Amino acid sequence: MAVHPIDYRYGSEEMRLIWDEENKLQKLLDVEAALARAHAKLGNIPEESARVISERANTKWVKLERVKEIEAEIHHDIMAVVKALSEICGEHGKYVHLGATSNDIIDTANALLIKESLEIVERDLKELRSVLKKLAKEHKYTVCIGRTHGQHAVPTTYGMKFAIWLDEVQRHIDRLNELKERVLVGQMSGAVGTMASFEEKGLEIQRLVMEDLGLKPVRISNQIIQRDVYAELMAFLALVASTLDKIALEIRNLQRTEILEVSEPFGERQVGSSTMPHKRNPIRSEKVSGLARVLYSNVIPALLNNPLWHERDLTNSSVERVILPESFVLIDEMLKTTIKVLSGLEFFPENIKRNLYMTNNLIMAEPLMLKLTEKGMGRQEAHELVRRLAMKAFREGRDLLEVVKESEEVRKFLSDDDIASLKPENYIGLAPQIVDNVIAFIEEKEREENI
């Protein structure tokens, strides 16, 4: 019986399978097998024993049901795995888990699960990057109104919006690559990290195990890999979630009925409301914003998991059973949903233009002020003059440029042609060039990745 929505509603099957009980058990067995092989290489156990342990350290031999059965009796999850593996290895089972402590196995297995999960996250981030790059190129010259404080400010372009998100996604890809160095580490260091149980071969055993598994060995640990590592991971996932939330929030606002400049895709047979047949709700973007709240909240328990009693206690364990799979499955859902929304984003050019001119050229107040300054009026004097004219135009419901033409103070400095040149489409500054710069930067990053 499924209880949590990540079991049946959110995340791809690929991501859910990583955190499935069967795969988690397999990763624990992978670590036990690597430990046996390391011991054999150093002459601590017979090579035949390592071969048998490696051959049988998989879920075809070690059944999840048997592990649970043992755990119900002894109330220790890792010892249940050890016993289940030992019993199917016969006489060779006596070498299973030799010198290791539970978290040598758990933390190293977690690193393997995290590694697989981050590969999916990285792939999705790169796909999102490609979608945003395409949109930035296509809409480099799509002029729209820029808004600050929810109010019309001055013109910008949709290319700028997409390029801002694009640049941010690239930062996440860069962060992810840096993060791997600190997060994808395992340990084989014994009860309190001293490696006493491995005697003088401890560092070599740890090196061999991690080399076997494709991980880096932790530099130092006590009984566990320190949880600042997991806290950084959770903070990274929450930061990615905040970008997806930002994108979703902008789309939701731009899809408001009275704005309606863009809209997330709406299927031919999609239903918007159980009672209002006309509705086209931005449900995908709302889902992304909603799930982001869960990702944000998971950072706090990850931070609280770092301070533990002495060389460790167990308060982090139950938390991590929840927040690790939950966070990865939800970020997977959010990334894939955002890609789908942006790939099918619908534009309404007539509304984009309508909103650009909605304020009767009040948004031309800044370029008007700068034009007056250019022609010789002091900047502060120009600001106050344009402010008064703008307030007059607003109160009277008139076009700012019409009011400006009646101003004797303005006429001392500006001709009809000067005033006529004040058009929203003419006031986008270097927006296209800025977008081109971002795209060039991203394409250089892509080339570096393919070298």
The residues carrying an active-site annotation are: 149, 273
Asked if 142 and 115 touch (Cβ cutoff 8 Å), the reply is: no
Measured distance CA(327)–CA(11) in Å, rounded: 10
Single out the residue of 185, 114, 129, 178 nearest to residue 441, CA to CA: 129
CA distances from 443 to 91, 126, 238, 436, 438 (A): 58, 12, 26, 10, 9
* Six token digits for residue 288: 């992304």
Residue 236, judged by CB atoms within 10 A of its CB (0-12, 13-18, 19+), counts as buried
Cα angle: 112, vertex 116, 121; to 5 degrees: 140
Q: What is the sign, positive or negative, of the torsion defined by CA atoms of 428, 434, 439, 440? A: positive
Q: Distance of CA 391 to CAs 16, 244, 369, 373, 395, Å?
A: 57, 38, 14, 20, 6
**375 neighbors 415 (Cβ within 8 angstroms):** no
d(CA 171, CA 240): 10
Q: What is the 3-state secondary structure (H, E, C) of 358-421?
A: CCCCHHHHHHHHHHHHHCCCCHHHHHHHHHHHHHHHHHHCCCHHHHHHCCHHHHCCCCHHHHHC
Task: Please count the other Cβ atoms lying within 10 Å of the Cβ belonging to residue 157.
Answer: 22
CA distances from 385 to 359, 368, 369, 378 (A): 19, 10, 8, 10
CA distances to 242, 410, 413, 416 from 384, rounded to whole Å, are: 39, 12, 15, 21
- Of the candidates 162, 146, 148, the one whose C-alpha atom is nearest the C-alpha of residue 429 is 146
Neighbour tally for 360: CB within 10 Å? 17
**Cβ contact 404:419 at 8 Å:** yes
Smallest Cα–Cα separation from 279: which of 256, 254, 250? 256
Distance CA 326, CA 95 (A): 35
| Cα-to-chain-centroid distance, residue 41 | 41
